[in-house]
Structure 1
Amino acid sequence: MEYKNGTSILDKGVYIIRNEEFKTMNEDDSLLARAVRRQNIIMKGQETPEITLNYNPEKNPIKDGIVKKTKDICRAKTPTILHYFTLLVLGLGTWGLLWCAFGEDWNWNGRWTRLAFVGGLAWAAGEAFQMCTSLPPLLAALVIGILARNFEFLDMREYTEIDAFLRRIYPVIILGKGSLAFDFKYIKKHWRLVSSLGVLPWTAEVLTLAVCMHVFLDFPWMWGLLLGSTYASVSFAVVMPAVQNSSGSSGNLSQNWNQLILTAGGTDTALSVGVFGVIHSFIMHEGDDTYRYIKAALALLVGVVVGVSWGTLAKFIPHSKDFYVAEMRLLFVLIGGLFTFFLSAKFGWGGTGGVAVLACNSTAANCWEKDGWKLNKNPASTAYRVMWSTLEPLVFAYSGTFFVIKAPLWNVMLIGLGILCICVVVRLTIAFFVCSKMTIRERFFVCCTWIPKSIVEAVLCPVAYNALVARGNYDENEMQYAEHFIWIIIQAILVTTPIGFLLTKHLGPFLLTEKQKKYDIDPET
C-alpha cells in the first residue's frame, strides 16, 4: 500500500519505509527482500500480513555467553578437582587402614594422627598458597609447622627417632633428584665457571657467618662453621622454573642458563651436605683424634669414589634390554644411595653419603643417556620428582615445629637479620665478580638466583639438636647453640626464599634480554 508522501506500509504500526530507501538499500539484504515479497502478496490478495520478527525473548546473548564460559571453566577444572578429591579419599582411606590396624595411636586425636595431619595440612596449605601468590609452597608448610608447635598441637622433639630417620632420607632424594640432570659435557667445557660459582661464594659466606656468630652471639668456631655450612647453601631448585621461563622468553642463548644454575647450585649443595656431615661427626662423635682428622680429610673424597663406582656399575646392570629396566635402574640408584648414606652415618663418616649420592646419580644419568634416556626426562627422574613432592611439605612442616617462640628469640632474630644482610652482600659480591666474562645484566641475574636459602637449610637445621638429645650428655650451652642454630636458619628461609624467587621471576626476562649483541651460539649449549 503506497501513500502520496512517498511511504509504503507493510504492517501498520510496525514498519514504515520510505520509497527512496528501497532504491538505496542493498537488494541482497534478506530482511528487505522478505519485506518486499510480503508487500506484493498483500497488494495482490489483500491478505493480513504476518510478520515474523527474528527475536526470541527467552534468549539473552550476554547471559548465554556467561553460561557457556562457566561451563567451559567447569569442564577445564573438573580433572583438577577430581585429582584433589582422589587424594583426599586416598588419605582418609590410608588413615582408616592404619587406625584399624594399630588402634588408639591412630584415632582422630592419636599421637601418630597428629603427625600425619600436620603433614597433610602443610601440603594443602602449600598448594593453596602457591595458587594464590605463585610463591613456593614450602613457605606455607614452614608456617604451618611453626603454628602447630606454638599452639601445642605437635612437637617433633617428642618424635626424635622418627625425625632423625627422615632426615637421612631427605638428602638422598634432594641430591639424587638434582644430579640426574647434570650434563657432564657442559661441566667439562665450563668447569672453571661451574666450580668457581659453586665453591667461592659458598666458602666466603661460611667464613663470614662463622666470624659473625662468634663475634655477636659467642658461638664456638666449630659451631659457627657447622651453621655456616648449612646457611651458605643456595636452593637452586626454588628458582629453576623462573630460570627456565626467563631464559626461554628472553631468547638469550649466550649461556645454557639451566645447566649453569643447576650444576653450580648442585656443587654448592653437595658442599653443604658434605661439609656439614664432616663437622657434625667431628663434634658429636668421640674417638681418637687422629682417626677423626683422617675422616674429616677423606670423607668427601671417599664419597666421590664410592658414588662414581656405583653409578658406573649402573651402566651395566640391569641390562638396557631388560623388560623391567626402568624400575630396576631406579631401585639400583635409590637403594644404593640410601644404604651408603645410612652406613656412613652409622660409622661416623658424615658427609660421605651425600657426596656419594650426587656422584652416583649424575654418573648413572650420563651413562643412561647413551642408551636413549634423556637427562632429567626419564622414568628415574620422574620417580624422584614424585618422591620429593611427597616429602617437601613434611621437611618444612616438621622443621617448623622446632621453632619455639620464647623470651630470647627476638634479640637473636634481630642480630640474625643483621648477620643475614652481611652474609648475602658478601655472597652476591663474590658471585658477581666470579662471572666476570658475562654482561652486567647477566651477572645481576646470577646474583638473583643465588639468594634463596630453603631446602638444605630445612633438612639440616634440627640435626644437631636431635643428636644432642639422642646423645644425652650435653650441657646447656650446647643446647642453646642448637636452638639458636634453628632460629637463625628458619629466619633465613622466610626472608631469602620469597625475595630470591620474585627477583628471578620478574627481573629475569629483562636481565637476560640481549641488548644489541650477537653471540656465537655453541650448538651443545
Structure 2
Amino acid sequence: MPVCDETNVELVGVNELTSLQNENRTQQPCETETPQRCQGLRRCCQKISKPLRTKYHPLPENPSICQRLKYSFLCPPHGNLAWYMQFFILVGITWTVLVSLTHSEALPGGNFFSLFVLFYGAIIGGYLISFLRLPPLLGMLIVGAALRNIPMVKIVGMSIDMGWSSALRQIALTVILIRAGLGLDPKALRKLSFTVLRLAFIPCLAECCAEAIAAHFLLGFPWEWGFMLGFVLAAVSPAVVVPSLLSLSDRGYGLEKGIPTLVIAAASVDDVLAITGFGVVLGIAFSKGDIALTIVKGPLEALLGIVYGIIVGVIMWYLPSKDTKNASLYRSLLLLGAGMLATFGSSIVHLSGAGPLGCLTLAFIAALRWRKEAEKEGDNGINGMVGILWMIFQPLLFGLIGAAVDVTAIDGGTVGLAMGTLAIGLFIRLCASFGAVMFSGLNMKEMLFIPIAWLPKATVQAAIGGIALDEATKRGDANLMVLGTSVLTIAVLSIVITAPIGAALIAIFGPLWLEKQKEGKNENEDDEVLS
C-alpha cells in the first residue's frame, strides 16, 4: 500500500504538471501576438520616419548651405530650430498663465499684456541686433522706444503702468549692483596700481564736472541736477567694455602690457564712483530744509548705506548655516531680498542715496567669506543664480527705459543742446583718459586705444537714468518731473550714440593698435597690472 500511494502521488503530480504545460501552450500564442503587433507597428513608424531623422542622415564634413538647411529641419529638433520652438512654446505658456490669472490685464491694452510684449520683444530685439556684433542691450532699447513711439504699436508702451515700470527698473538696478559687488575682487583691488586708480577717477570726475557745467549753462539745470546728470553719464559700461576687451584678450591682443586687465579693473571702480556720487547728489537734490543739513545729508546717506551693507553682509556669513541643504539658493534669496530692502526701503524713508551704495556694499562684504569657501569647497553657484536673474531683468530694464522716452514730448532744441552737453563731456573724457595713462609705459597707439575703450555707456545709464524721474513723480512736482525726463532722455541718447560706436571702435582699433602676444609667452602674464 505505501508503494501504491507514492505511485499515485507521483502520477497526480505529473498530471498536474502536464495540464499546466498544456495551459501555457494554449496561452503562448496570445502572449506573443501582442509584441509582434507592436514590433510591426514600430518597424512601420521607423520606416516612415527614417527620412526625417538625424540618426540616419548625419551632416557631412563640409556641408553645403542646402545640406545644412535640410539638416536643421530633421528630427528630433536641434540647434536653432529647437531654441526657437522652446522659446515660442514658453511665450504661449506665459501668456496663457497671465490670461488665466489677470484676465483683462493680460489682453491688449492691459498692463501685463504690455509688459509681456515688451519683455519678449526686447529679447528678440537683443538677439537680432547681436548678429550685427552690437551689444544686445541696444536692440532691447530700440524695441522699447519703438513700442512707445511707433503709431501702430505705441499703445503697448503707453499702457505700461508707471508704478510697475519704476519697481521693475529698481529691481533691475538691485541685480546690477549685486553683480557688481560680487565681482569686486579684494585681491585685485589691493593690487591696483596707480595707473588703474588714475584711469578710474580722473575721467569720471572730469566728465562729470564738464557735463554739470555744460548742463547748467546750456540746458538751464540747477547745479545739483547738473552734477546728477554728470554722474549718470560719467560711468563706463561693463556690459559693452568687458565683453569687447575679453574678446581681444582671447586673441592675445594687449596681454603683454596688461591692457585688458587695466581697463576691466578700472571699470568696476569707475562705476562704483559714479553710482556713489549719483546717490549723494540725488539726496541733496531731493532734500528739503536747511541748506547746511542738505549738504550734510548726502554724505550721511552714503555712510548709512555703507554701514547697512557691512552689517547685513557680515550676517550673511553665518546665515544660512553651512549644513543647510541648497545653501546657495538661500544665500541668493537673502542677497536679493536684502538688496531690494536697501533699494526700496531707502526710498520710503527719503534716504534714496543710501540704497544703491548699501546694496553694493552688502554684496561685496558677503562675497568676502563666500569666495574663500568657494576656493576650498568649489563654486557656490551664487554668481550663476544672480546671472540668471540678470537674464530675466535685463530685457525689462532696457525695454522699459526705451519705453519711457516719448519722442513727441522732446523739444528739438533741447535735443540739440543735450547732444552738445554730451559731446562736451565725451571730449573731456577722452582727453582725461589719455592723460591718465601717460607715463605708464604704454606707447602712443596703446594710449590712444584707452580713451576709445573708455567711451561706451549703457548699463549704469539705464539703471540710474530714470531714478530722478521716479523720485520727482513721487513728489508730484511738475518742474522736477521735467528735469527728470531730461536726465532720462539724455541718458538714453548717450546709450544709443556711444554703445554701438564704442563697441565698433574697440573691435576695429584693438587689433590695429595693440600688440599681439607672442607664441610661447607665459599666459599668466595677462594678469599683471601696470604699475
TM over 0.5: same fold? yes
Aligned 8 A contact 2:238 2:459 in 1: no
1:11 equivalent in structure 2: none
* TM-superposition CA deviations, 1:84-133 (whole Å, max 9, x none): 322322222122122112222222443321222122112112111212x0
Match of 2:320 in 1: 318
Write the deviation string for residues 314-342 of structure 1: whole angstroms up to 9, x where unpaired: 33333445432221222232222221222
Give 3-state SS (helix, strand or coil) of 1:314's partner: helix
- Relative to the length of structure 1, the TM-score reads 0.79
Q: Write out aligned runs for 1:57-456 (5 A).
A: 68-70=67-69, 78-131=78-131, 133-150=132-149, 151=151, 152-155=154-157, 159-250=161-252, 252-254=254-256, 256-257=258-259, 259-373=261-375, 379-406=381-408, 409-436=411-438, 437-439=440-442, 440-456=444-460
Q: Does the Cα contact within 8 Å between 2:73 and 2:81 map onto a contact in 1?
A: no
What per-residue deviation string (whole Å, max 9, x for no partner) do you get for residues 36-82 of structure 1?
Answer: xxxxxxxxxxxxxxxxxxxxxxxxx9999666544555579823322
The DSSP-based 3-state class of the residue aligned with 2:251 is helix
SS of the residue corresponding to residue 510 of structure 1 reads: helix
Q: Is the 8 A contact 2:258 2:525 kept in 1?
A: no
Residue deviations 1:436-477, cap 9 Å, x none?
3141333333222211111121222233233223222x24x4
* Paired residue secondary structure (1:218): coil
Q: How far did 1:257 drift?
A: 4.8
Deviation at 1:383, TM superposition (A): 1.4
Indicate conservation of the 8 Å contact 1:236/1:450, yes or no.
no
Residues 325/240 of structure 1: CA separation in 2 closer, same or farther (3 Å cut): same
Shift of 1:243: 0.6
Q: 1:171 offset after TM fit, Å? A: 1.7
- Structure 1 residues 81 and 416 mapped into 2: Cα distance closer, same or farther (>3 Å)? same
1:191, CA displacement in angstroms?
5.0
Which residue of 466, 469, 478 corresponds with 1:462?
A: 466
Alignment check: 8 A CA contact 1:210 1:221 kept: yes
Provide the rounded CA distance (Å) in 2 between the counterparts of 1:198 and 1:319: 37
Query: What per-residue deviation string (whole Å, max 9, x for no partner) do you get for residues 207-251 of structure 1?
Result: 101111111122211111111111111112212111112122125
Change over 3 Å in CA distance of 1:267–1:374 after alignment to 2: farther
CA contact (8 A) 1:194 1:264 kept: yes
Distance in 2 of aligned mates of 1:288 and 1:189: 42
Give the counterpart letter for 1:80 in structure 2: N
| Greater percentage in helix | 2
In structure 2, how many angstroms separate the alpha carbons of the residues matched to 1:334 and 1:172?
8
Q: Distance in 2 between matches of 1:268 and 1:63?
A: 48
Indicate conservation of the 8 Å contact 1:181/1:376, yes or no.
no
Q: CA separation of 1:252/1:338 partners in 2, compared to 1, >3 Å: closer, same or farther?
A: same
SS of the residue 2:210 aligns to: helix
Counterpart-to-counterpart distance in 2, 1:419 and 1:448: 19
Query: How far, CA to CA, are the matches of 1:143 and 1:66 in structure 2?
Result: 32
User: Aligned to 2:112, what secondary structure does the other structure show?
Assistant: helix
Q: Give the distance between the partners of 2:160 and 2:121, measured in 1 at CA.
A: 19
Match of 2:502 in 1: 500
Closer, same or farther in 2 for the Cα pair 1:177/1:64, shift >3 Å? Answer: closer
- Using the alignment, how far apart are the partners of 2:423 and 2:147 within structure 1? 29
Residue 454 of structure 1 aligns with an amino acid whose one-letter code is A
- Residue 470 and residue 356 in structure 1: after superposition, are their counterparts in 2 closer, same or farther (change >3 A)? closer
* CA deviation profile, 1:352-375 (whole Å, cap 9, x unmatched): 221222222233334222223599
**One-letter amino acid of the counterpart of residue 449, structure 2:** F
Q: What whole-Å deviation, never above 9, does each CA across 1:135-160 have from its counterpart, x for those lacking one?
A: 11211221222222122323468622
For the 8 Å contact 2:343–2:355, the answer to whether it is kept is: yes
TM-score by length of 2: 0.78
Deviates more, 1:314-323 or 1:483-492: 314-323
Instruction: Note closer, same or farther for the CA distance 1:78–1:407 as it changes in structure 2 (3 Å cut).
Output: same
Aligned residue type for 1:118: L
Partner Cα distance (1:176, 1:444) in 2:
32
Instruction: State the distance in 2 between where 1:415 and 1:118 align.
Output: 30
Shift in CA distance, 427/109, structure 1 to aligned 2, threshold 3 Å: same
CA distance in 2 between counterparts of 1:109 and 1:520 reads: 56
Aligned residues of 2:453 and 2:502 also touching (Cα < 8 A) = yes
Tell me the distance in 2 between the aligned counterparts of 1:88 and 1:315: 41
Counterpart Cα distance in 1 of 2:158 and 2:227:
25
Candidates 505, 510, 513, aligned match of 1:511: 513
| Higher alpha-carbon deviation: 216-225 or 86-95 | 86-95
**Distance in 1, Cα, partners of 2:509 & 2:281:** 37
Q: Distance in 2 between matches of 1:82 and 1:519?
A: 41
Aligned residues: 462
- Contact kept, 8 Å, 1:250 with 1:510, in 2: the verdict is no
Work out the CA distance in 2 between the residues paired with 1:353 and 1:513. Answer: 42
Q: Secondary structure at the match of 1:126?
A: helix
Comparing 111-120 with 225-234, greater Cα deviation is found at 111-120
Contact residue 196 and residue 434 of structure 1 kept, 8 A: yes
Summarize the Cα distance change of 1:450–1:191 in structure 2 as closer, same or farther, 3 Å threshold: same
Contact 2:314 2:366 in 1 (8 A): yes
Give, as a single letter, the amino acid of the residue that structure 2 aligns with 1:490: V
CA change 1:290–1:62 in 2 (3 A) is: closer
Residue identity in the other structure for 1:93: I
Q: Secondary structure at the match of 1:350?
A: coil
Instruction: Supply the distance in 2 between the matched residues of 1:456 and 1:405 (Cα, whole angstroms).
Output: 22
SS at match of 1:433: helix
Contact conserved, 2:126 with 2:139, CA < 8 A, in 1? yes
Mapping 1:46-65, distance limit 5 Å: none
Larger radius of gyration: 1
Amino acid at match of 1:273: I
